[in-house]
Homo-oligomer: A and B are copies of this chain.
Amino acid sequence: MPRVNVKERLIEHAEDVFRRKGFNAASVQDITEAAGVPKGSFYNHFASKQDLAAEIVARYARATDFSALHGEGPALDRLHRHLTGQIDRIRASGVEFGCLLGTFAGDGTTAGQRVRESVRDALDDWAGAMTRTIAEGQAAGEITADRPPAGLAVFLLDLLEGATLRAKATGDQSSVADEVSIALDALRA
């Protein structure tokens, strides 16, 4: 098996293993087994589990679909479409395994500096994308101008992550859409 192929297989399968087990419980062996590569090959491609995890977080962030935020129509509708898309994404990968970013945010204390920075960058980029849509909604008089757009974006993102954490604990995602709807109503001018 060519080396590049092994690295790609590791990256491809690690996301699922990390989401299912979290950073700490996922072993290098779990990841190499899921990828179907020899355990010894791991360290030819990554210096550590931390190293791979930081790359997986960045990859998850790059794969986040922000297109709804930049679409047509009222800003609140665009935010609603975007957040609904994220709810669907989490459902597709298993509600009981939560959001990969949320899982790594929770594991951050023990996962180390590189993983923590990768999570912070991903959260910042995500909040930044929503901030721009919220600022447009404020300029259009559709969203309350009583609060800075960045604060409202962080509020929406944290509500989604908190509701997704509950869904992970209960195995039931049904309250998340209602909670997002309450949060979006709070932004209305």
Identify the A interface with B (CB < 8 A).
20-22, 24-25, 96-98, 102-103, 105-110, 116, 119-120, 123, 147, 151-152, 154-155, 157-163, 165-166, 168-170, 175, 178-179, 182-183, 185-186
Q: What residue in chain B is nearest A162 (Cβ atoms)? A: B162
Would A166 and B161 count as touching, CB distance under 8 A? yes
> Per a CB cutoff under 8 Å, which of B106, B158, B163, B185 touches A103?
B106
B21 and A165: CB pair below 8 A? Answer: no
CB–CB B110/A21 < 8 A:
yes
In the complex the two chains form, is A106's CB within 8 Å of B168's CB? yes
**Docked-complex contact B168 and A155, CB < 8 angstroms:** no
How many copies the complex holds: the figure is 2
Nearest to A147 among chain B residues (CB) is B182
CA distance A122 to B110 in the complex (A): 25
Given known contacts A106-B106, A157-B166, what 6 new A-B pairs fall within 8 Å (CB)? A20-B109, A21-B109, A25-B110, A97-B109, A155-B182, A158-B179
The minimal Cβ–Cβ distance linking A35 to chain B, given in whole angstroms, is 20
With contact pairs A107-B22, A182-B147, A186-B185 given, residues A120 and B165 touching in the complex (Cβ less than 8 Å):
no
Say which residue of B116, B119, B157, B186 sits within 8 Å of A186 (CB atoms).
B186
- A161 — which chain B residues lie within 8 A by C-beta? 162, 165-166
In whole Å, how far is A36's beta carbon from the nearest beta carbon of chain B?
A: 22
Nearest-CB residue, chain B, relative to A98: B106
CB-contact partner of A158 in B109, B119, B159, under 8 A: B159
